[in-house]
Every structure is written in structure tokens, then in C-alpha cells.
């Protein structure tokens, strides 16, 4: 029996496996007292599942806890602060930088905090709990003719809490920006001795509250505070979207088309690019009807149905002017779906997994996804940089991304059991990060820093002569999380 008055931490300091078992048992017992016995899981298989992210980077969780409200979260934080137990907040773990990976602490899942609490069309906001998935929110909002426009390609799984904390963007980023632009207010629990609950910002469309702590939390990757509720701005959904898919001999030609769209004062909701290798190999594995070859650009322009033909004609002319070799279009999103105009773009990530597993057979394939952003005019140079680096280190690189805002996601696949290949992959990424910074880009647009890009962040700040910024960030972490119990060793 474990005595009730025992200090959990007394056990932690011992390395003996006997005491360690008692330590974990005590944590679990204390957590069950707070959230109820069904809301703490310790099964080995469950722990393994909650210790991995979307690309397979993995750690070790002691248990998984499912709070049902902010009071639960506050009490859990109080306990963990007192006992020096690490907390790893987790939405759907679809992040791609190792920002949700646990290391010897409790995973806090928000799957039981998934209610849309308020939809207020007149005041222009929704109030949601952190475990609501982006697509679920949009399904409900569509009944009102509204939408929440930040749409990561993982939106069917991605939660609001996760998207806030990664500072997510998505396919509509060129027109609608990222989470930074859509969070009005947050309720958070901070990792102090009281598990203090703070209300930051407001549910109004404007709010000046001194230093902008709302935007400090957006993109903080679960390292500063736990988001327990969010007030998000919403916007009317477009009546209709015209989709034009074009193919080009070079990224430069595709860039010409993007430049012309901008000069013609159009602001498409979607501008997606995939390179010629993705097109060629994608066509081999999925059923795509297009005869187009080369680099592909998909443009989705919002416009009322009665103007759809005119809008499509304007875009087709722009593509012809940029020497497109093949063009197809649809006057509505449903027509685009029927024609499969977006299928090749959707196949981008699965294609890398498919090619990796073919190449490595039984070994575990790790698909590594880069996430840099450059000035839009530098996109062709950026594509060249990653392809050249791929050749140098012996990787096939697939490139695609949200080019309307200059965001590319080059992908390679490696065999995790092949040490030499993993080292080469690291060198490959460090080299492209360095070159991207040199052409005026930044190492992360929307996936964040997590564990995997901490060196990249240092590199970028050093190259900009701003090392002091890293010190300031470390100090911010210390102020919010003095004992470093909340998602430690991530970002800074
Ligand atoms: C196929 C695929 C496509 C993707 N496409 C895009 C894309 O187009 N754009 C894009 O931006 N991203 C994309 N992503 C990355 C990822 O899906 C997004 O960042 C997503 O928003 C993460 O949501 P999540 O619920 O999975 O969060 P998680 O991965 O669980 O967590 C992300 C971060 O948030 C923290 N966190 C989670 N909930 C809370 C909370 N309540 N309080 C405090 N911290 C919290 C975690 O600790 C972690 O640091 C993609 C991923 C995949 C696998």
C-alpha cells in the first residue's frame, strides 16, 4: 500500500526501478483523485501511442490524463508543480517538429474538452474548448454560412489547442494568414504553484491590453501555458471557388504566373505548388486523369457563381501568358473534386511515405518535412537550393507547399535504423536552412521549432545578428514556467 501522506517526489529521486514504480503509481493515484479513475490511462500500448507524433518521432509518457475542465487542469498543474512532474500538452499529435513528444512526464490530452461553447455571428467570434478539431468547427460554422479560415492540410485531425500552439497556417494562408491573425482571446493555466487561470485578450474584435500576451502564446508550442478555452474570429465562407490547375516547364514559369496574379490585383484563397517529380511519381501511384506534366500550380479564387466563367477565363489567360504547358479548370469546388484537380497535391505526403516504405522495406521510414518560408519572388531559387542539396547528400527531394505566401515543404525519407543516412539527413537540413536564411527566408513558417529545429532557430538568429533574442526567449520561458515542468526542452 502507498501511504497517502507520502511525498511523491521522495520516490522520484531514487533511480531504483522499485521506487520508480511506486513513484508512477503515486502520480497516477493523485491524478485519479483529481480527474476520476477513468480519465488516467497507463496501459503500455496506449502510452506508446500517445508518445509519438505524426512523423514517428517518439518519447516516453508515464501516463495519459484527460482533464474535463479548467479546474481539473489547474489542480493537475498544482500537483505537478509541487512534485516536479513534467506535463506534455497534446492535441492530435500531428505536429511535425517534435513539439508534442513526451519525455518522462504526463501527457495531457484534451479529447474530453471538445465542446464548441458559443457561436456569435453578430459579434464575430466563436468560443471553443482546446480539443475541438478544426474541421468539426467548420462543419458547424458552415450551417451559418461562416468559416474559421485557418486550414492545415491535417485539419480533420488537428485541434484548436494544437493549431494555436503551433501557430498553424494552411492552404488558405495567402489570403487568410495563420492562427496569429484569428485568435482574439485565450483562457490559459500557467505552470505556477497555484495553477493560476488567466484570461488574456477578449472576445471583442479589437483589444489592447498592454503587451500582447495572446500572441505570445500563439506559436509557443505548449511551453508557456496550457490553453483551456479560445475565442476565435470567424468570417463569412465564400459562395464559390474557381479552381485552375496548370503545368509548367520550370518553377520560374510558375512564379511568373503567381507574380501576374498579384499584379492583376487578385488574392486567391489557395495557391499550391508541387514539383515535377511529385507530379511524375504521383501519377504512377494514384488515379489522376490529367495529361499535364512538369511543375504544377493550383489556384483557387473565391468568386460568386455568376462571375465564375469570367474569373476562370482571366486566370487561364494569366497561365497561358506564363507559358503553361497544360491547363484545366473548374467553375466550383465540387466540379474540381469531380475532376480530381487537387488530388496530386493531396498525394504529396502519402507519396513520400509510399516511396520510403518501398525503398526501405521492413525498416522504419521517417519522412522529414521541411517548412521554410521565403519572399515569394525567391521561390524558384529555393526549389533549386533543395534539389541541389538533395543531389549532394543522395536524397530524392519532393517539393511542394503553400506558395502564395512563400511557404515550401521539401520532403525526404530516411531509414531510421541507418545511422549514416540519418546523419546525412541532418546535414542536408542544416545546409538548406543556412542557404534559405541567406536568401532572406526563415526556417519555419507554420510547423514551429519543437525539438528538431532548435539548432535552426539558433542559426537563424545568429545569422541575423540577434543572438540576444534567444536569451530573451529563455528568460520569457523562465518567467512563465519557473520550474520548467511544461513541455521542457522544446523551442529554446
Ligand atoms: C499530413 C499533415 C499535413 C499538415 N499540414 C499542415 C498545414 O498545412 N499547415 C500547418 O500549419 N500544419 C500542418 N501540419 C502540422 C500539424 O498538423 C498542425 O500544426 C496542427 O495544427 C497541430 O494540431 P494538433 O492538434 O495535432 O496538435 P499537437 O501536434 O498535438 O500539438 C502541437 C503543439 O501544441 C501543443 N498543444 C496542444 N494542445 C495544447 C493546449 N491545449 N495547450 C497548450 N499547448 C498545446 C503541443 O504540446 C505541441 O507543442 C500537418 C501535419 C500533417 C501530419
Each residue of 437-484: pLDDT tens digit? 999 999 999 999 999 999 999 999 999 999 999 999 999 999 999 999
How many CA atoms does the CB half-sphere of 350 hold within 13 Å? 12
Q: Is 87 helix (H, G, I), strand (E, B) or coil?
A: strand
Residue 5 pLDDT: 46
Q: Is the CB–ligand 1 distance for residue 93 below 6 Å? A: yes
pLDDT at 1: 38
Q: Residue 12: what pLDDT? A: 55
**Residue 166 CB–ligand 1 contact under 6 Å:** yes
Q: Give the pLDDT confidence score for residue 14 in this predicted structure.
A: 53
Q: Report which protein residue has its CA nearest ligand 1's atom 21.
A: 163
Going from the Cα of 53 to the center of ligand 1, the distance in angstroms, rounded, reads 9
Which secondary-structure segment (H or E) carries 48? helix 44-49
CA 163 to centroid of ligand 1, rounded, Å: 5
Res 19: pLDDT:
74
Output the CA 112–ligand 1 centroid distance in Å. Answer: 17
pLDDT the model gives residue 9: 57
Closest atom of ligand 1 relative to the 178 alpha carbon: 11
E strands, 144-224, are 146-147, 183-189, 197-201
pLDDT of residue 90: 98
Task: Kindly give the pairing relationship between strand 87-90 and strand 103-109.
Answer: parallel
Q: Which residues of the chain have pLDDT under 50?
A: 1-6
Q: Which atom of ligand 1 is nearest to the CA of 445?
A: 11
CA dihedral 340, 341, 343, 346 (to 10 degrees): -150
Distance 159 CA to ligand 1 centre (A): 7
pLDDT tens across 341-381, in order?
A: 988 888 888 888 888 888 887 677 788 899 999 999 999 99
Spell out the domains of the chain, with CATH numbers in brackets. 8-109 (3.30.43.10), 116-236 (3.30.465.10), 241-346 (3.30.70.2190), 348-480 (3.30.70.2740)
Ligand 1 centroid to residue 447 C-alpha, Å: 7
DSSP-derived letter for residue 398 is B
pLDDT value at position 2?
A: 41
Q: Is 130 in the pocket of ligand 1 (CB under 6 A)?
A: yes
Predicted pLDDT of residue 3: 44
pLDDT at 53: 86
Q: How far is the CA of 11 from the centre of ligand 1 (A)?
A: 34
* Cβ(480) – ligand 1 distance below 6 Å: no
**Which grid coordinates belong to 16?**
531504483
CA of 149 to the centre of ligand 1 (A): 16
For atom 2 of ligand 1, the residue with the nearest CA is 154
pTM (2 d.p.): 0.94
Cβ atoms 448, 454 nearer than 8 A: no
- State residue 361's pLDDT score: 77
Q: From the centroid of its chain, how far is CA 371?
A: 10
Q: Check residue 6 and give its pLDDT.
A: 46
Q: Is 226 in the pocket of ligand 1 (CB under 6 A)?
A: yes
- 158, 445, 489: residue to mutate for ligand 1 pocket, most atoms within 8 A of CB: 158
Amino acid at each position: 500500500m502507498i501511504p497517502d501522506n507520502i511525498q511523491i517526489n521522495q520516490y522520484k529521486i531514487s533511480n531504483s526501478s522499485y521506487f520508480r514504480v511506486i513513484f508512477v503509481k503515486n502520480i497516477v493515484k493523485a491524478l485519479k483523485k483529481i480527474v476520476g479513475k477513468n480519465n488516467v490511462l497507463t496501459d503500455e500500448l496506449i502510452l506508446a501511442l500517445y508518445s509519438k507524433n505524426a512523423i514517428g518521432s517518439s518519447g516516453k509518457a508515464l501516463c495519459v490524463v484527460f482533464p474535463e475542465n479548467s479546474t481539473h487542469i489547474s489542480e493537475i498543474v498544482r500537483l505537478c508543480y509541487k512534485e516536479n512532474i513534467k506535463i506534455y500538452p497534446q492535441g492530435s499529435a500531428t505536429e511535425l517538429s517534435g513539439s508534442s513528444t513526451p519525455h518522462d512526464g504526463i501527457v495531457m490530452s484534451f479529447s474530453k474538452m471538445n465542446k464548441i461553447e458559443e457561436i456569435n455571428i453578430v459579434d464575430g467570434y466563436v468560443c471553443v474548448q482546446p480539443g475541438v478539431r478544426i474541421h468539426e468547427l467548420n462543419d458547424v460554422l458552415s450551417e451559418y454560412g461562416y468559416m474559421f479560415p485557418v486550414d492545415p492540410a491535417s485539419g480533420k485531425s488537428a485541434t484548436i489547442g494544437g493549431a494555436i500552439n503551433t501557430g498553424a497556417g494552411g492552404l488558405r494562408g495567402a489570403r487568410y494568414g495563420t492562427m496569429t491573425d484569428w485568435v482574439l482571446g485565450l483562457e490559459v493555466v500557467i505552470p505556477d504553484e497555484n495553477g493560476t487561470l488567466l484570461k488574456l485578450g477578449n472576445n471583442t474584435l479589437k483589444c489592447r491590453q498592454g503587451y500582447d500576451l495572446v500572441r505570445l502564446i500563439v506559436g509557443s508550442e505548449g511551453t508557456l501555458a496550457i490553453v483551456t478555452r479560445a475565442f476565435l474570429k470567424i468570417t463569412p465562407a465564400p459562395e464559390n471557388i474557381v479552381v485552375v490547375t496548370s503545368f509548367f516547364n520550370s518553377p520560374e514559369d510558375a512564379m511568373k504566373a503567381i507574380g501576374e496574379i498579384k499584379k492583376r490585383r487578385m488574392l486567391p484563397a489557395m495557391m499550391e505548388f508541387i514539383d515535377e517529380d511529385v507530379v511524375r511519381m504521383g501519377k504512377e501511384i494514384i488515379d489522376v486523369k490529367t495529361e499535364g506534366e512538369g511543375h504544377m500550380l493550383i489556384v483557387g479564387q473565391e468568386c460568386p457563381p455568376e462571375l465564375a466563367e469570367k474569373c476562370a477565363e482571366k486566370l487561364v489567360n494569366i497561365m497561358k501568358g506564363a507559358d503553361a504547358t497544360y491547363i484545366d479548370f473548374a467553375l466550383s469546388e465540387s466540379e474540381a473534386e469531380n475532376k480530381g484537380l487537387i488530388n496530386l497535391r493531396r498525394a504529396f505526403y502519402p507519396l513520400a511515405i509510399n516511396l520510403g516504405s518501398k525503398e526501405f522495406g521492413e525498416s522504419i521510414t521517417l519522412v522529414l518535412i521541411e517548412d521554410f518560408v521565403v519572399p515569394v519572388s525567391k521561390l524558384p531559387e529555393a526549389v533549386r537550393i533543395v534539389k541541389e542539396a538533395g543531389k549532394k547528400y543522395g536524397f530524392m527531394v519532393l517539393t511542394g507547399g503553400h506558395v502564395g505566401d512563400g511557404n515550401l515543404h521539401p520532403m525526404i525519407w530516411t531509414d531510421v535504423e541507418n545511422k549514416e543516412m540519418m546523419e546525412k539527413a541532418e546535414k542536408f537540413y542544416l545546409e538548406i536552412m543556412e542557404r534559405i536564411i541567406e536568401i532572406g527566408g526563415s526556417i519555419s513558417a507554420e510547423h514551429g521549432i519543437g525539438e528538431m529545429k532548435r539548432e535552426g532557430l539558433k542559426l537563424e538568429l545568429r545569422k541575423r545578428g540577434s543572438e540576444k533574442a534567444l536569451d530573451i526567449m529563455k528568460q520569457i520561458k523562465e518567467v512563465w514556467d519557473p520550474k520548467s515542468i511544461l513541455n521542457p526542452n522544446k523551442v529554446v
